[in-house]
Amino acid sequence: NAGVMQNPRHLVRRRGQEARLRCSPMKGHSHVYWYRQLPEEGLKFMVYLQKENIIDESGMPKERFSAEFPKEGPSILRIQQVVRGDSAAYFCASSRRDSTDTQYFGPGTRLTVL
Amino acid sequence: AQKITQTQPGMFVQEKEAVTLDCTYDTSDQSYGLFWYKQPSSGEMIFLIYQGSYDEQNATEGRYSLNFQKARKSTNLVISASQLGDSAMYFCAMRELNDDKLIFGTGTRLQVFP
């Protein structure tokens, strides 16, 4: 399967713990985007990365959230000291910035904070 | 101001009938892309169809087509010959040329009944 891979699919954390969400883009894609979906809402942009660079983090909360896309390995979205309000589905998308720049999404990680 | 508006929270359609899902958008850019995604109950986001702002013809992709009316800033999704498997949430999204992120509407829940 050459699609966008995300793991884990489901993640349960207690308040105060750390959550690490991983995303491997589609083959040939070097642009990664993270979105968050709260229940019964559309997706909200968080951050856009290329290899080793954060290009746009205008949608990221200022505290506790960070993202990286290292030269080797998957992109990581890290949430420190999780709170109940962080419970959501987190989607990763990738694109290759061609003429349509279509973003293809992974299956998402559903984070539940107890 | 909301940039993507989907005014139909829910729609019903009988199997084999056609259905139109509405989407209007707001932008001052001349160059932008419009996207539709399907989110079934399993949760993944599936890309359906794309329309560029300079495309003169309405996009089509199998049973999916767009009724793109640029002057009205609307891009309605038409699903022909509905199938039970079309039951899902449908999200309209836009990306402006000089931006990286997709902006999503709140979605329309489509239910196809036999």
Please report residues of B whose CB lies closer than 8 A to that of A110.
43
Query: Best of A34, A95, A100 to disrupt the B interface by mutation (most B CBs within 10 Å)?
Result: A100
- Length of chain A in residues, anyone? 114
Residue ranges, chain A, pLDDT below 70: 1
- pLDDT tens digits for range B3-15: 999 999 999 999 9
| Predicted local confidence at residue B99, as pLDDT | 87
| Predicted local confidence at residue A39, as pLDDT | 84
Give the position of tokens 């992974």: A106
| Number of cross-chain residue pairs from A and B with Cβ atoms under 8 Å apart | 59
- pLDDT tens digits for range A12-44: 999 999 999 999 999 989 999 999 999 878 899
Asked if A45 and B52 come within 8 Å (Cβ–Cβ), the reply is no
Give the gap in angstroms from C-alpha A45 to the nearest C-alpha of chain B: 6
Give the gap in angstroms from C-alpha A15 to the nearest C-alpha of chain B: 24
The mean per-residue pLDDT over the stretch B82-103 comes to: 94
B66 vs A35, A75, A90, B62, B103, CA distance in Å? Answer: 25, 33, 28, 11, 18
- The minimal CB distance from A59 to the residues B46, B101, B106 is found for B101
| Predicted local confidence at residue B40, as pLDDT | 95
Give the gap in angstroms from C-alpha B59 to the nearest C-alpha of chain A: 12
Comparing alpha-carbon positions, the chain A residue that sits nearest to B42 is A107
A56 vs A48, A70, A95, A99, B105, CA distance in Å? Answer: 5, 16, 15, 20, 21
